[in-house]
Amino acid sequence: MNHKMFSQVFCTDNVNKNASGTVALASTLENAKMLSLLALIVPLIVSTSCDEVSSLNNRSFPTNFKFGAATASYQIEGGWNADGKGENLWDWYTHTFPDKIQNRDNGDVACNSYYKWKEDIQLLKDLGVNHYRLSLSWSRILPNGTVNNVNQKGINYYINILETLRANNIEPLVTLYHWDLPLVFHELGGWYNPLLADYFAEYARLCFKVFGKYVKTWITINEPQTTCVQGYGIGGKAPGYLHSGEGVYQCAFTNVLAHAKAYHVYDKEFRASQNGRVSIVLDSAWAEAASDKPEDVLAAETAMAFSMGLYANPIYNGNWPQIVIDRVGNRSLNEGFPASRLPQFTPEQIQLIKGTSDFFCLNTYATSYSQYQNTVNESIGTPDYHLDMGVRSYRDPSWSAVVDWVALVPWGFRSLLNYVWNQYDGVNEIVVTENGWADVESTLNDTARITYVSEYLSALLDAYYEDGVNVTGYTVWSLLDNFEWTNGYTQKLGIVQVDFNDPDRTRTPKESYGWYKGVIARRCLLESCVN
């Protein structure tokens, strides 16, 4: 039984449309046992308010709530081979397979932040943020990935940034790994190879040692789900592998093991002297049941277990989610495998991994409906992560969206916050480390972004005040328009425009920058709030 009490506020307008377009109203729960069961399976959805969806929460943000903005090293730095930096996975991928990237773009120059980092920090200072989430380039610090070859120029680059952030009263939230794996480890199997967990722990130890005096909040790994499903399962991102049946799970195994080993390095060797904290960034869309049929409710539970749960459950609750163990195991045996395609943790590994998080970091951009598909005994002989899941996911076409991975569904965000709060043991704080709006036009008049972020922040306040979810921070993605992986520069998520046709990569704040600055200054979504 979960240690927290699940709470929701319902009203007659809090409804969601199911797959057939009918309206499902939240029903009254008869007893506490049913309430707890529902919290573990699929929290009821509520909209952002009991009025129109555009009505914003008029409560002030809590006094301890922190606002921030985020970037990542490969997406903004450029300087891909400058000052001793080694080659990484995305350098190799964009250079070797340019046709896999929109417009054959790459991150060789990106936003040129390797040389323009002072300008970026000035933008952050003028914005008034409390924190800046950035990532370190592993191969800029360790050109061949290992600690026997340290690049002091790379270390100095990050020390300069961290010192300047601190001097401007901006807290750095530092991510050790945001997808730019040193190429040597890709050649050794990448995240398929469990030895990578030990190399990552050594890299983390070095970073804790040389940067720890400036950093109080560490994030080990960014979005392992996206790495494993997109990079190693369906080939949508580097390294572009198509091993959905086994690769996703082996990648997940190595990622959570690497995170845990890095966490213990900090816990045992640095926490007492540096007094910082460590977590991992997990990403997920919210999975809403397509109907109130038991099989669709189970489908939503299953979708969450295979997306977020595959990574969160070992860290917070111990071991893989049971439904993942059962489904992958059953299909593996029916396919003729001698054992499950899902790697098995040893009892020692379960204990090593469980509890390795000081707070919960959440990235999210969208919501989908989940509908049951009977794949348990179907398509046997074709090992596949999505067939293991047995869920059809789809979006409501009425939801506002420009790209296929971002949609305006604030009630889904609120439900996801509730789910994290109630599903995982030991979560006493949630920090939203990425959320933002994507468009494809480089416009300064980005009112759609203001609408998206304001409604998501309103849903966050609803979760905090109405549901008792202790969410203490929000980080908009992104500070800058940047290299969006295989989408190149065709998708814009920045609150600051970057002119990629200008060799100087000129920055120009958008309307959303000024709007966000105002929200931070008054700590309120409206011109005035009730508290």
Span 64-73, pLDDT tens digits: 999 999 999 9
pLDDT at 222 over 90: yes
Confidence of residue 379 (pLDDT cuts 50, 70, 90): low
Provide the 10 A C-beta neighbour count for residue 126. Answer: 11
Is 223 one of the annotated active-site residues of the chain? yes
The reported pLDDT for the residue numbered 381 is 77
Strand partners, 88: 182
Q: What is the pLDDT of residue 531?
A: 82
Q: What confidence tier does 249 reach under pLDDT thresholds 50, 70, 90?
A: very high
Q: Kindly state the average pLDDT of the residues 51-68.
A: 84
Q: Is 217 exposed, middle or buried (0-12, 13-18, 19+ CB in 10 A)?
A: buried
pLDDT confidence bin for 28, thresholds 50/70/90: very low
Which pLDDT score, from 0 to 100, does residue 386 have? 95
pLDDT in tens, 144-164: 999 999 999 999 999 999 999
Would 279 be classed as within a structural domain? yes
Token digits for 444? Answer: 């300064």
Indicate which residue of 77, 301, 434, 484 is catalytic. 434
Pair of tokens at residue 263: 């966490």
In the chain, % of residues over pLDDT 70: 89
Q: Cα 263 to the chain's mean position, in Å?
A: 18
Q: How many domains does the chain have?
A: 1
What is the mean predicted confidence (pLDDT) over 292-296?
A: 97
Assess whether pLDDT exceeds 50 at residue 200.
yes
CB 508 within 8 A of CB 100: no
pLDDT per position as a tens digit, 322-366: 999 999 999 999 999 999 999 999 999 999 999 999 999 999 999
What gap in Å lies between CA 485 and CA 107, rounded to an integer?
9
Res 16 pLDDT > 50: no
pTM for this prediction: 0.90
194: in domain: no
Judged against a pLDDT cut of 50, whether residue 443 lies above it is answered with yes
Element (H, E) at 435: strand 430-435
Residue 109 has pLDDT above 50, yes or no: yes
The pLDDT confidence band at residue 378, using thresholds 50, 70 and 90, is low
What pLDDT score does 380 carry?
78
Separation CA 147–CA 362 (nearest Å): 30
Paired sense of beta strands 496-498 and 507-509, if any: antiparallel
pLDDT tops 50 at residue 53:
no
pLDDT reported for residue 182: 98
- The whole-number pLDDT of residue 337 equals 94
Domain assignment of residue 123, yes or no: no
Domain annotation covers residue 417: yes
Confidence grade of residue 382 (pLDDT, cut at 50, 70, 90): confident
Average pLDDT (263-280) is 98
Per-residue pLDDT at 15 exceeds 80: no
pLDDT at 374: 77
What mean pLDDT, rounded, does the chain reach?
Answer: 91
pLDDT tens-digit series, residues 513-525:
999 999 999 999 9
Q: What's the CATH number where 421 sits?
A: 3.20.20.80
Task: Tell me the chain's radius of gyration from C-alpha atoms.
Answer: 22
pLDDT above 80: residue 217? yes
Measured CA distances, 133 to 129, 266, 376 (Å): 11, 19, 41
Answer yes or no: is pLDDT of 2 > 60: no
Instruction: Please give the pLDDT value at position 33.
Output: 32
Residue 258 maps to a domain: yes
Pick the catalytic residue: 77, 87, 171, 223?
223
Catalytic residue status for 527? no
**SS3 labels along 229-284:** HHHHCCCCCCCCCCCCCCHHHHHHHHHHHHHHHHHHHHHHHCHHHHCCEEEEEEEC
Residue 269 belongs to domain spanning: 15-68+217-487+501-522
Are 200 and 180 in contact by the 8 Å Cβ rule? The answer is: no
**Residues in Cβ contact with 67 at an 8 Å cutoff, skipping those fewer than 6 apart:** 61, 128, 129, 130, 131, 473, 474, 475, 516, 519, 520
What is the torsional sign of CA 159, 164, 168, 174?
A: negative
The pair of structure tokens assigned to 98 is 């340019």
The fraction of the chain above a pLDDT of 90, given in percent, is: 87
Please calculate the CA angle 27-33-34 and round it to the nearest 5 degrees. Answer: 25
- In a domain, residue 350? The reply is yes
Tell me the DSSP string of 490-501. SSB--SEEE-TT
Report if residue 202 sits inside a domain.
no
271 within domain boundaries: yes
User: Per-residue pLDDT for 43 more than 70?
Assistant: no
Residue 29 confidence (pLDDT) above 60: no
- For 467, the 3-state DSSP assignment is coil
Q: Is pLDDT above 80 for 118?
A: yes
